[in-house]
Amino acid sequence: MAGSDTDVIGALRELLGAENVVTGTDALAPFETDWRGLVRHPAIAAVTPRDTAAVAATVSACRAQGVAVVPQGGKTGMVAGGVPAPGRRQVVLSLSRLDRIRAIDTVNDSITVDAGCILQNVQDAAAAADRMLPLRLASEGSCQIGGTIATNAGGTQVVAYGSMRHLVLGLEVVLPDGRIWDGLRGLRKDNTGVDLKQLFIGSEGTLGIVTGACLTLLPRPGGQVAALVALPSVEAAIAAFVAIRHPLWTVLTSIELFSDDGLRLVLDHVPGARAPFASPSAYYALIELSVHTGDAAPARETLEEAIAGLIEDGTVTDAIMAESETQRLAFWRLRESVSEAERAAGGSLKHDVAVPISALARFIGEVHGIVERVAPGARPNIFGHVGDGSLHVNIRPPEGVALRDFARDGAVTRAIEDAVMAFGGSISAEHGIGQTKPDSLPRQKSEVELALMRTLKAALDPLDLLNPGKLLPKSGIDAIDTGETPQKA
């Protein structure tokens, strides 16, 4: 039975205490607006439950009132997945108060945490136990463990350690009907049927709300070696990666690409950022090695020798080895500030794509061709995780054109997505689909894949109460005859 907004707010206040139920246009603004500031749709309320039982009770109460629930983590997502989509009566459920480190097991090398823990806090807790959680993102000071699981976050060390999916041992999840699934096992082997946790990893809060996670830990690196190299072209960047990857296979943990356009944005908008090289190059790559046991000196020597060879044959035009931790962090600051700097400069049309590494250079050439043909004057800013073929292809509008106007006709995005398909790539390497890309999904997924995704959604959430309007194309859940009627406003 659908209750009025007043009924819903009353029920939630009774359940969680009035102080944990946010209402009113101004107070709700931060819960309703996405990181990029492009999307805002109304919620009846935002709630901040304290623990798993309170999350489950909230989901049940919303279900009883016929109201949808939007799980919200650190709100750093780029596709507006953690804020309301239009067309439904909904409550935002922020996980931010589920912020306890539950246990660290240094024999099992695992850490069990609440889903609302900030990623950096979990990294710090692991470090305090002389371990490492090897997920690293520029947003790690704000994004939450639950958000990184729901989006299967990648980041700058996937080339060595994989994405979040590879780090999750067990999950605790509140299901759309309010039941709690306790799958918080710290096991590396468990062949007792379907691996249910995989359903929730990367499903963007549409199948369940993650409330706890058991994650794998690794030894902390004893030494890290970083080099910043200047490259005349993207072809050179790929050649450099191919040349170093096998000799340094066991220690290579990052190879990150950014262009001179990206560097200039950082230099213009990030206080204290300094140009690393005397003269500009088309691209730069940040290479990092992490040595877990023993001395880092041999790895450094191998990298230096490899770079010397690349300078000799013209692949690399200049290089700087970090001589201190401060310099290593300064290199990372240049790379990791590109998104923030771009936002400060007015934002861009974002595409977060993957193509096979062997196709990267041709793909980037195609993107430049598309921009010249479809949007002359627009400014590409291409950067990302070249070691796993994942790139942020951001297109800034021509000088003097507002981002919203530039984005409106969609021609650039369509052409870039066409190119991604032609190269056998993915239209979302990292950020997910959220509410900004569902209509592109049918271009990527076959009818069979879409039908399977819809079947799963219908089986777990037949009323479409969890994060509606996200991930599946509009026809998604509505296209299934579940025998139950979705309750829409």
Ligand X SMILES: Cc1cc2nc3c(=O)[nH]c(=O)nc-3n(C[C@H](O)[C@H](O)[C@H](O)COP(=O)(O)OP(=O)(O)OC[C@H]3O[C@@H](n4cnc5c(N)ncnc54)[C@H](O)[C@@H]3O)c2cc1C
Number of Cβ within a 10 Å radius of residue 333: 15
Instruction: Give the strand pairing for 45-47 and 90-94.
Output: parallel
- Asked if residues 230 and 317 have their Cβ atoms less than 8 Å apart, the reply is yes
For residue 139, the minimal CB distance to ligand X (Å) is 3
Q: Which residue has the tokens 């919620």?
A: 43
List contacts with ligand X (CB under 6 A).
35, 71-78, 81-82, 95, 115, 137-139, 143-144, 146-148, 150-151, 153-155, 204-205, 209-210, 339-340, 430-431, 434, 467, 470
Output the six-digit token pair for 468: 């509606």
Residue 207 CB, nearest approach to ligand X (Å): 8
Q: Minimum distance from CB of 73 to ligand X (Å)?
A: 3
Nearest distance, CB of residue 43 and ligand X, angstroms = 13
Cα separation, 83 vs 30, in Å, equals 9
Q: Closer to ligand X at the Cβ: 389 or 434?
A: 434
Task: Give least dist CB 121 to ligand X, A.
Answer: 12
Q: Would you say 56 or 143 has its CB closer to ligand X?
A: 143
Sign, Cα dihedral of 171, 172, 176, 179: positive
Least separation in angstroms between CB 275 and ligand X: 21
For residue 182, which phi and psi values (nearest 5 degrees)?
-95, 95
- Residue 204 or 261: the one with the smaller Cβ distance to ligand X is 204
In whole angstroms, give the CA distance from residue 108 to residue 106: 6
Rounded to the nearest whole angstrom, what is the least distance from the CB of residue 183 to ligand X in the complex?
A: 14
Minimum CB distance to ligand X smaller for 173 or for 395: 173
Shortest distance (Å) from residue 297 CB to ligand X: 30
* Residue 89 or 470 with smaller CB distance to ligand X: 470
Query: In degrees to the nearest 10, what's the CA dihedral of 274, 277, 278, 283?
Result: -110
- Lookup: tokens for 117: 């823990």
CB of 261 or CB of 430, closer to ligand X: 430
Q: What does 355-367 look like in DSSP terms, one character per residue?
A: --GGGHHHHHHHH
Q: Which is nearer to ligand X, 68 or 251 (CB)?
A: 68
- The residue (of 248 and 354) whose beta carbon lies closer to ligand X is 354
Contact 106, 131 (CB under 8 A): yes
Residue with tokens 């010397």: 308
Cβ of residue 79: shortest distance to ligand X, in angstroms? Answer: 8
Least Cα distance to 226 among 150, 326, 349, 155 occurs for 326
Residue closer to ligand X, measured from CB, 204 or 366: 204
DSSP 132-167: E-----TTTTT-BHHHHHHTT---TTHHHH--GGGT
Give yes or no for a contact between 155 and 429, defined as CB atoms under 8 angstroms apart.
no
Q: What is the rounded CA–CA span in Å between residue 206 and residue 69?
A: 10
Comparison of 300 and 351: residue with beta carbon closer to ligand X: 351
Closer of 33 and 317 to ligand X (Cβ):
33
Length, in residues, of the chain: 489
Which residue is at the shortest CB distance from ligand X? 147
Half-sphere exposure of 98 (CA within 13 A, CB side): 32
Number of H helices, E strands in the chain: 18, 18
Cβ contacts of 333 within 8 Å, gap of 6 or more: 270, 273
Q: Which is nearer to ligand X, 139 or 315 (CB)?
A: 139
Q: What is the DSSP letter of 18?
A: G
C-beta of 354: minimal distance to ligand X in Å?
A: 11
The least CB distance from residue 339 to ligand X, in Å, is 4
Which residue, 109 or 204, has its beta carbon nearer to ligand X?
204
Between the two ends of the chain, the Cα-to-Cα distance in Å is 12
Q: How far is the CB of 453 from ligand X (least distance, A)?
A: 15
Q: Which run of H or E residues covers position 289?
A: strand 283-291
CB of 411 to ligand X, least distance (A): 25
What interhelical angle do 5-16 and 52-65 show, nearest 10?
Answer: 160
- Going by C-alpha positions, the residue among 430, 375, 454, 416 that lies closest to residue 152 is 430
Which is nearest to 123 in space by CA: 110, 114, 132, 115? 132
